[in-house]
Chains A and B, each alone.
Chain A
Amino acid sequence: MSTKGTRIPEWLTVPFAGITPAPTQEKGQDLFPTGNWRSIRPVYRDKLPPCNNACGTNEKIQGYLDLVKRGKYLDAYALIKEDMPFPSVTGRVCYHPCETACNRGQYDEAISIRAVERFLGDLGQALQRDVVKPGKPNGKKVAVVGSGPAGHSAAYQLARLGYKVTILEKSPKAGGLNRGGIPDWVLPQDVLDREIERLIELGIAIKTNTEVGKDVSWDSLKKDYDAVVLAVGLTEPNSVRAEGENKQGVIYGLPFLRDIGMGTSKVKLGARVAVIGGGNTAIDCAREALRQGAVEVTMITVEGNPKEMPCVPEDLHDMLEEGVELIHGKAVTAVLGNGRVEALELHPAKFSGAINASPITINKDVAAEKFAVDNVIIAVGQHASLAWLPAEFKTERGSIKIDRFGRLGDTNFFAAGDIVQLGSGQPLMVVNAVGDGKRVAFNLDKALRGEALEPRKIAIDVIVDLNRMNMTYFPHFPRVKQDMLNPTSRKKTQDEVILAFTEEQAVEEAGRCFSCGTCNACDNCYLVCPEPCIARSDRSNGLYKILVDYCKGCRVCIEECPTGCLEGVPELDFDAGVVRMDTAFAISPGLHGRQAQELANLASRPAKEL
């Protein structure tokens, strides 16, 4: 068809008169917005890695592992400090629920997250000045009662929010359970001292030898401070309710460790020591007993076998390596001796229901067994001492009654840590107390500012299915092991048993992280796209952009994403902000569409213009 004599409007000359626009790197081929072929659109949606989810304080574990493997240690340390005030402590003592949840555990071996955390914590300890700064002062005063994990965490977060924080601690030294419940060969005192110094650097005042109920009353707390966080912990040891338990030579686990930790211990152990209990404190007591001069240490537990014991399996293994004997399925019914313990009377026993959460049934029909000992350490849990607390805030379990935000009624008192977690099904562990302290601190801040409080966060989408990731990109690599002292020499000293990672080991171990469900800028989607319609402006996390004008929806990027953070979403689900062509779903109509628009407008144009 000849166009001779036809006047072609300017906007129609472009594609039809043989002059086609040259493609550019920025715009692609404007003439062909192939995005209208697409029925499924790839979108980046980060999911929660199982480690972050399992962590008691929801540390951004995937995030700091990613930074460590790229050599950005200081950034990694700053990231960990958002949720965790003392990575050097938890890097040593944590029961690492993150490693239990780690997806790599289903593939070869879980990442040694705790060792990397310790590497970062030690790095932070060596810094002249900490990366964390106190917040802009807001003129409000908060008291934190107790300087254990929960109190430490709450005080730290509140100081970062700009509060003037005072910690009240009844012992002569701050640290709470971190100092009194954890032996030196797990957590050296100077590491903890340094972390306490960091708190003081944040402008927090620590009043030691100040006990609530004795030196400070409930009413004076209420009067002197805008708000209070109660993180008093469980300080009183449980008894086993055996006959003659008050005899000399019977020691309770937590005071035993606490006195050694505070340097006020007067205990001299005999050669044969029995430890009653199967938890983590019992294990620490048994290993500490060896270091205090005991020769034969025996652990007596009600649990039927080592697997049922409510403790960290690695610690149990290390304890057995040091030569502690185990007796299972037995309970102490009497402590025999003339004024001083000489032997124990044991009867077969078991839990009547769930392990460690139900009463013990003792079989008295069987003849009692005698077990000769010089000392007994009883470590069967703790309870709180709450005489100072108004009765309305006490529960039957002996803990503090709080609402789901951590608040005591409608007062400005909040409670955190073991004192509220006892019997709630939450593990009574350092990291859980830290998380509780953090969340309560944020809620306290919200309450004082009159904002709505937030209950404990519920995870939205935790990626635990390896089929959602592409395993082809992850070769098998064994876990990097932390070196340990030899069991025969270590059991006589207070030296740290587990040794730290070197820089190379930390980077190597962090490099094993799958980065489950979270974009770690691996560039794979960018590389495999056939169009290519995945643009990369800056190569750091999550800064890829899908040019939806061109994406044909082939889903190669989704299939090939190693971490599983790319997802396909049906195009019909996008209804807001999407301009569609009549036939399909391109986000903008492209040159063809614009031309169609011009043609549609043709009729309404005045004839003169044409």
Chain B
Amino acid sequence: MPAIEVQRQTLPILGNPNQGARFYNPDLPASEPFVPGHRTCAGCGPSIQYRMTSKASGDNTILVGPTGCMYVANSSYLCTPYNVPWAHTQIGSAGSFTAGVAAAYEAMIRKGKYKGTFPNVICEAGDGSASDIGLASISGALYRNHDCLIICYDNEQYANTGIQASSRTPYGGMTTFSPPGPKVPEAKTLYPKDLARMMAAGHPHCYVATASVGYPIDLMNKVRKGLNHKGAAYLMIYTPCQKGFVYETPRSIDLGRLVVECGLYPMWEWNPEKREYDYSFRPQTMRPVAEYLKLQGRFGHLHAEHIANLQKFANQQWQMMGVQLPEALIKSADPKNQVNMAASAEAEAVAQTL
């Protein structure tokens, strides 16, 4: 029996209204694979990301949801907000399950058992699954180059179990596993795992990119580029968590922009054809990290030297992207030019009593 050729979807790239247009007016698709009524917190960042991703990919999509917020909060009573096929899988087997779905569709189409175009297979893993528990299986799926998109929605902690530290939790971030105290005043001493770069370096044949909910059209375009890429693609998307970051719910999108403007979340794409990084994304402004940190309760305990350390880290990220550092940011990396967070004294007092 002759093999049937697999028909793949090509999604158009949206015009980016933030670059060059005089007024904000994106042209969005109409389909809505993600519907309201889910039980995530008000202003949930991962939920915004899920919505934008599924809107970009359209109705011919299969979603894979390893254990995480977007599984636990969204599928209670077996009732989910997904209007497209969605399957839960174990937190450790995100990559292998997704690879299986993609491989199965390829085989079924080839053998004529499934009529229709190849669906967009998207795995929505949290940073716990993507950077810690399911790292091996995701790496395997990327390495074997199955035609799928694996997304790490990065809320920088294990949120659905009550805010525990993951390897993506930033330096200084308070979680229940990394509380600040007299011995460790900065709460978390380790810097976050550079997960996206690890995936780009380790699987150079894959499309890899970072994105943020603060730049919705850019995010949707990267999802479409990843889906259009024949083979595996990997996206790491910054998604603020209102409960874990401790901020006011309206600031979800704002934080997504601030984290990029502060240099703590460099936005780039890995071009698998040229085998090089594309660092051309530039936010409208550059800001000192304190502007991002001060909006969040999880950084409320930081002292001047910790903020300076984070600024140093951000400056390294800017330099890596080839950005000329303004004098003000170099100065901010010196603890002498920083002040303690407003709540740091109270945080210390509380810690002493324990």
Using a CB–CB cutoff of 8 Å, the interface residues on chain A facing chain B are: 15, 18, 20-21, 23-25, 28-34, 37-38, 69, 472-475, 477, 508, 511-513, 515, 520-524, 526-533, 547, 549-550, 552-556, 558-560, 562
Contacts and interface: CB of A to CB of B under 8 A. Distances in A.
A442 B43 CA distance: 48
Interface stretch (B72-80, B167-175, B186-194, B344-352): B72-80
Contact of A558 (B18, B45, B250): B250
A556 B22 contact: no
Contacts of A475: 18, 22, 284
B183 to A, nearest CB: 37
Given A25-B32, A28-B37, A32-B39, A556 B24 contact: no
Given A21-B79, A472-B257, A559-B251, A523 B39 contact: no
22 contacts: A24-B83, A28-B36, A29-B79, A29-B81, A31-B79, A34-B39, A473-B18, A477-B22, A511-B22, A520-B25, A521-B25, A523-B25, A527-B28, A527-B52, A530-B48, A531-B47, A549-B36, A552-B42, A554-B242, A555-B249, A556-B249, A559-B253
B252 A472 contact: no
B254 interface: yes
Given A23-B81, A34-B38, A37-B42, A512 B250 contact: no
Interface centre among B24, B79, B254 (most CB of A within 10 A): B24
Contact of A555 (B34, B40, B43, B77): B43
Interface centre among B32, B44, B51, B253 (most CB of A within 10 A): B253
A524 B35 contact: no
Contacts of A553: 42
B38 A29 contact: yes
A492 to B, nearest CB: 38
A15 B76 CA distance: 12
Contacts of B36: 28-29, 34, 531-533, 547, 549-550
- Nearest first, the 7 A-B pairs at minimum CB distance are A29-B37, A554-B43, A511-B22, A550-B36, A554-B42, A559-B250, A552-B42
B82 A556 contact: no
B244 interface: no
Interface residues of B, number: 43
A152 to B, nearest CB: 34
A181 B125 CA distance: 73
A532 B32 contact: yes
B116 interface: no
Contacts of A549: 36
Contacts of B35: 23-25, 28-29, 532
Interface string B208-228: 000000001000000000000
B90 to A, nearest CB: 22
A18 B78 contact: yes
Given A527-B52, A556-B250, A20 B78 contact: yes
Contacts of A37: 42
A435 B226 CA distance: 57
Interface centre among A28, A513, A556, A560 (most CB of B within 10 A): A556
A258 B250 CA distance: 60
A345 B252 CA distance: 72
Given A24-B83, A521-B25, 18 more contacts: A21-B79, A25-B32, A25-B83, A29-B35, A29-B38, A29-B81, A31-B77, A32-B79, A34-B37, A473-B24, A475-B22, A529-B48, A530-B47, A532-B35, A552-B41, A555-B250, A556-B48, A560-B254
B253 to A, nearest CB: 5
A512 B249 contact: no
A574 B17 CA distance: 36
Contacts of A20: 77-79
B26 interface: yes
